Structure 1
Amino acid sequence: MTQILQRTVLFADLRGSTALYETLGNTEATTVVTRSVALISQIVSTSGGVVVKTLGDGLMAVFADSVSAVVAADEMHDSLDRIVPPSGQRSVPVLKLQVGLAHGEVVEMSGDCFGDAVNVAARLLDHAGDNETLATASVVAGLSSDMRERCRSLDKVQLRGRVEPVHVYLIEGRRFGDTAATAYGELLPQAEPEGIRLVWLDLNRVYAGPSLPVVLGRSPQVTYCIDDSRVSRSHARIDWHGGAFQLTDLSYNGTYVRFSTGSEIVSLRRGTCTLHGSGLIGLGATLTDPTAPCVRFEVLKFADTQPQDAL
């Protein structure tokens, strides 16, 4: 029977399985991936959702409301650490989880679901970094006030195959207080964002506080627009997380970083690195290519720029 219902659609994708197969071999890697998918499937069920189908290294599920879907996504991220290779090896590559959430009208037919919300949730995985949950504005609107406080707007994002951009939010991990624990158990207050300067040609901007995160890309809708055909519409994102600026690659052609203090080029393929000091960010082409679209960055410490009292 065909039904038209309002549902929150969840797509979850495990990344890093290729490296697992290379390190562990087919048998053990298959066991790890299978256990991981089974675990997140179980979480869907215990959170009140329904698994529509598994998709290789991930799954698609639907929930009656946004709160249940976000609770499930949180539990997926928290529980993935329980998966340990059968051999007990700890030096093997770690699986990363990306989650996309969209809410809207879906058509349920023959055990499957169709509709714009399904397509949008699936496309959000293209823009999610490691261990991140991205959600549409319609999902955020259905959350409780304390959950909405964890949602940071990434502004409108152009999704593959869709004409109109979609307002996307990053749902931060669950916070259990306003302080952060150190390795020694002491608690420190959360640091306020510093500033970061980005320079490409004559486009010189400084971002901090409410203006974060910053999305770099070719689309006019992104925060920092770079008009070059090698740059994806939403190519990379800079966040303030854990007391540091984090650069996440969202593209198909890759993002490259070289710090002023060294000559090594860090290659990001759907990965993340911490930005410190100053250096160069190459978008869509390695920094060894002199024609590569290249953004200069500088992490600013505003405290150092404040006037000091005379001694």
Structure 2
Amino acid sequence: MTGSSARTVLFADLRGSTALFGTLGNAQAAAVVTQTIGLLSRVVTQNSGKVVKTLGDGLMALFERGPMAVRAAREMQDSIARIMAEADTGAAALRLYVAMAHGEIVEVAGDSFGDAVNVAARLLDHAGDNEVLITQQVYEQLAAVDRQRFKSLERLHLRGRSEPCHVYRLESWYDDDATPSTLFADFTDTPLADCIRLALADAPQQVFTVQQMPVVIGRSPDSTFCIDDSRVSRLHARIEWHGGNFHLSDQSSNGSFVRFTGDHEVVMLRRGVCVLHGSGVIGLGASPADSSAAVLHFEVFSLASELPIGGS
């Protein structure tokens, strides 16, 4: 029996389970993952959704409308935090990635197919740690107060699709939320950082203020920094400003690599986010230690600190 209908498709994926198996052993890790997937499934049902199938460390679910799915995603994030606290495993926490799209789907023999399914599945590849990504169609169904919780990522190119997709990211659900959990650190001691200086190799440096965010880095000619390198993705990374800090968000296939001035350690980002502070270099698609890598130099500073005393 087949049937076509408009639905919001949600994919949720747990990452970090491999580390759990290595740390806790098969039995305990399997129990934690199984319990977590079961809890996420109950959250779907409690929000009038239907679990189509579980996918190892994740699940696929259908909702009649976007607001139900968004509410479920928020409760899933809360549940993950709670279950990991109660488990007290001492291991690295599981991280939940959620993506959703709305459109016509066809249900066949207990499974679901359609463009919305494909979009949600591929959008999941762009989600960072504990992030919720939604398409324009889901966003338009939300109440005005809930739309304010989301930040536009503009248009992303999804694998297998010729047309870009307008995507939004859940920034905060509660008014007292801290900065997103994908951040490696919160350098709140950086005073009034409102500008970032960027330069590629020997090219002239450019200065961007918070009003000029985001800065898009990639191989696409439409990027703020267009870099002709085979290891650089068309939409490789974005620099955004929120919470008083500049954030580098990797959206690439080969990753971004950050090394701060004075540090030997390199922070590797794969679909993750890092707060940029002070100065340093960003290797695009390869470590800055690789002499052939495309390297972007950066410096975060306050515009007021560079103005002459008594002048402007």
Could you say whether these structures have the same fold, taking a TM-score greater than 0.5 normalized by the shorter chain as the test?
Answer: yes
Name the structure 1 match of 2:82.
82
Does residue 43 of structure 1 match 2:43?
Answer: yes
SS at match of 2:125: coil
Give the whole-Å Cα distance in 2 for the aligned partners of 1:266 and 1:302: 27
Change in 2 beyond 3 A, CA 1:177/1:22? closer
Alignment pair present for 1:101 and 2:100: yes
Partner amino acid, structure 2, of 1:275: L
Equivalence for 2:159: 160
Is residue 267 of structure 2 the alignment partner of residue 266 of structure 1? yes
CA separation of 1:154 and 1:205: change in aligned 2, threshold 3 A:
farther
1:116 is matched with 115
2:132 alignment counterpart: 133
User: What's the TM-score once normalised by structure 1's chain length?
Assistant: 0.88
Once residues 223 and 138 of structure 1 are traced to their aligned partners in structure 2, the CA distance between those partners, rounded to angstroms, is 27
195-204 or 250-259, larger mean C-alpha shift: 195-204
Report deviation, 1:227.
Answer: 2.2
Q: Which residue of 1 aligns with 2:142?
A: 143
Residues 246/115 of structure 1: CA separation in 2 closer, same or farther (3 Å cut)? same
Q: SS state of the match for residue 84, structure 1? A: helix
Contact 1:254/1:268, CA 8 A, preserved across alignment: yes
Q: Tell which deviates more after alignment, 297-306 or 75-84.
A: 297-306
Distance in 1 (CA, whole Å) between partners of 2:116 and 2:24 is 37
Deviation track 1:12-33 (CA, whole Å, cap 9, x = no partner) reads 1111111111111111111111
Which SS does the other structure have where 2:75 is aligned? helix
Q: Secondary structure at the match of 1:232?
A: coil
Note the 1:174-193 alignment, pairs <5 A: 174-176=173-175
Read off the aligned partner of 1:2 and give its amino acid letter: T
State the Cα distance separating 1:75 from its structure 2 match: 1.0
Which residue of the partner structure matches residue 278 of structure 1?
279
1:304 is displaced (CA, Å) by: 1.9
User: Taking structure 1 as reference, are residues 192 and 101 closer, same or farther at Cα in structure 2, changes over 3 Å only?
Assistant: farther
Partner of 1:212: 213
Contact 2:192/2:302 (8 A) holds in 1: no
Aligned in 2, Cα 1:305/1:175: closer, same or farther, shift over 3 Å?
farther
Return the alpha-carbon distance in structure 2 between the equivalents of residues 167 and 57 of structure 1: 27
Task: Calculate percent identity across the aligned residue pairs.
Answer: 54
Aligned-pair distance for 1:117?
0.9
Question: Which residue is equivalent to 2:289?
Answer: 288
Q: Distance in 1 between matches of 2:87 and 2:148?
A: 41
Tell me, in whole angstroms, the C-alpha distance in 2 between the residues paired with 1:50 and 1:5. Answer: 14
Aligned to 1:4: 4
Are 1:230 and 1:284, in contact at CA under 8 Å, matched by a contact in 2?
A: yes
Structure 1, unpaired ranges of 5+: 181-187
Higher deviation after alignment, 258-267 or 49-58: 258-267
In the alignment, which residue of structure 2 is the partner of 1:185?
Answer: none
Distance 1:51 1:223, change over 3 A: farther
Compute the displacement of 1:193 (Å): 7.1
Structure 2 equivalent of residue 68 of structure 1: 68
Q: Mark the CA change 1:209 to 1:48 in structure 2 (over 3 Å): closer, same or farther.
A: farther
Consecutive unaligned residues in structure 2, runs of 5 or more: 180-187
Shift of 1:155: 1.4
Alignment length (residue pairs): 300
Letter in structure 1 aligned against 2:29: A
TM-score, length of structure 2 as denominator length: 0.87
